[in-house]
Amino acid sequence: MKPPAFDYICARTVDEITATLQEHGSEARVLAGGQSLIAMLNMRLARPALLVDLMRVEPLAQIIEETDAITITAAVRQSAAMAHPVLKRDVPLLAAALPWVGHLQTRSRGTICGSVAHADPSAEIPLCLVALEGEVRLLTRRKRRRVTAEAFFTGMMATDREDDELVEAVAYPKRRPGAGYAFIEVGRRHGDFAIVACAAVVDAARMRLAVAGVADRPTARDFPRLEGTALDDALNAFAWELRGSDDIHATARYRRELVRQLGRKVLLEAAACRS
Amino acid sequence: MPKLNPDRRHQVSFTLNGKTTSMEVESRILLCDALRHIVGATGTHVGCEHGVCGACTVIVDGLPARSCLMLAVQAQGCDIRTVEGLAPSPDRLSVLQAAFRRHHALQCGFCTAGILMSLHAYLSTSLRPSEEELKEVIGGHLCRCTGYAPILAAALEAAATLRRESLHV
């Protein structure tokens, strides 16, 4: 399994990337950490004519603290994000989920934005972005735009990104006082793709549960503060609405049961750690 | 912004086990294949070729990485370490390698180079790893011979030996 032939550009500026995307459109693919894209090239699931590598564009390797959000730009590796002190303090949900992303040996190269752009329906990084109601920042030669996480993910490995757009950064909202956050996942082995992963945000008035691995994209639902059988009924309804399907990893029925069980557990955990 | 043509070969230079290495590669050549077929450093093994098995793990700028998920052209200017660089001299094993031998932490040896590189990188940053941390490191590798227990024992012993040695310095 070897990649097919392609042109390769090692970009030095953001402008070089957007110019390349404008010129080549869907023929070009942006290469970040390569932990999904190069595997897809090896398996010939992707055959771009041109790869434009963004990892040496210095302005894209920043974790920026904004008033309400932590913004992570396109060349920030998962290992670098995990090591950054601001993450645990301000985005505890992402800090809790990152150790579940692949292995140490893939997090050393894989990026946060690359996982968002790849949009695997079972991936943890997009799940947290949806759970926290974050946003994706897209850039072309002519314009910038911001898309909410929920609008960005449009299907199985499909996003709202246009062919000439670069995922420049993703913004994870900072923890809010009075809110609790929790993450949980079930897979065959640690580091495997999740069968079901759940992220929860709970405050005084609201419980928000986001689920990956069941629908064709990470999906969130808001509930009032429910308990007991009311919570069970709400989770059961949500599990059915996600319309999971059977595959070699698990049946749809097992996935529904995981949503019910993990959903309850992760919501209670988030409620218990409210600050 | 040089554009590298797929049909042509391109100059790439990186440091391999402390020595500057230059070669000519096509843009599609993976780092693992460049190491094995161009440099001739066949200690790095190639298993699944899509980042799952861990056999091809090398150290890139201090961190373990899959060399099958990296293009050789991406290694330009990087510090690459492979299993060939572990032993201090041709007739001596490193502390970690010696612990692997003592604990029978390998049988067929196919996964060994990758596991050694992951553990070497980890022990370079932490000499007091917990068993859980080491399991997390080894968890990025598939081994079908050992059942992992001897690998874990070897890693714990190597950490203890390196700790003792660092006290004597």
A9–chain B nearest CA distance, Å: 5
Taking alpha carbons only, the member of A23, A52, A141 closest to residue B3 is: A52
How many folded domains does chain B comprise? 2
| CA–CA gap between residue A17 and residue A23 (Å, rounded) | 10
Tens-digit pLDDT string for chain B (169 aa): 778 888 888 999 999 999 999 999 999 999 999 999 999 999 999 999 999 999 999 999 999 999 999 999 999 999 999 999 999 999 999 999 999 999 999 999 999 999 999 999 999 999 999 999 999 999 999 999 999 999 999 999 999 999 998 877 5
**Segments of chain A with pLDDT less than 50:** none
Q: What is the CATH number of domain A180-272?
A: 3.30.390.50
Q: CATH number of the domain that B134 lies in?
A: 1.10.150.120
| Concatenated DSSP letters of A52-81 | EE-TT-GGGS-EEE-SSEEEEETT-BHHHH
Beta bridge partners of A50: A7, A28
Is residue B87 in some structural domain? no
| Host domain of residue B117 | 95-168
Portion 190-249 of A in contact with B at CB < 8 A: 190-191
- Residue A129: which residues within 8 A CB-CB, separation 6 or more? A116, A136, A149, A170, A172, A218
Instruction: Please report the pLDDT score of residue B111 as a whole number.
Output: 98
CA atoms within 13 A on the CB side of B32: 27
| CA–CA gap between residue B138 and residue A145 (Å, rounded) | 42
Q: B9: helix, coil or strand? A: coil
Q: Do A51 and B60 touch (CB under 8 A)?
A: no
B47–chain A nearest CA distance, Å: 10
Q: Does domain A7-53 have CATH number 3.30.43.10?
A: yes
pLDDT per residue as tens digits for the range A130-181: 999 999 999 999 999 999 999 999 999 999 999 999 999 999 999 999 999 9
Q: Are A72 and A81 in contact (CB under 8 A)?
A: yes
**How many residues are there in chain B?**
169
User: What interface predicted TM-score (ipTM) does this complex get?
Assistant: 0.95
Say yes or no: B75 and B110 in one domain. Answer: no
Is residue B88 in some structural domain? no
- Measured between beta carbons, which residues in chain B are less than 8 angstroms from residue A13? 1
Q: Are A84 and A172 in contact (CB under 8 A)?
A: no
Is residue B3 in some structural domain? no
DSSP B142: -
Is residue B1 in some structural domain? no
Helix B112-125 and helix B95-102: axis angle, to 10°?
Answer: 130
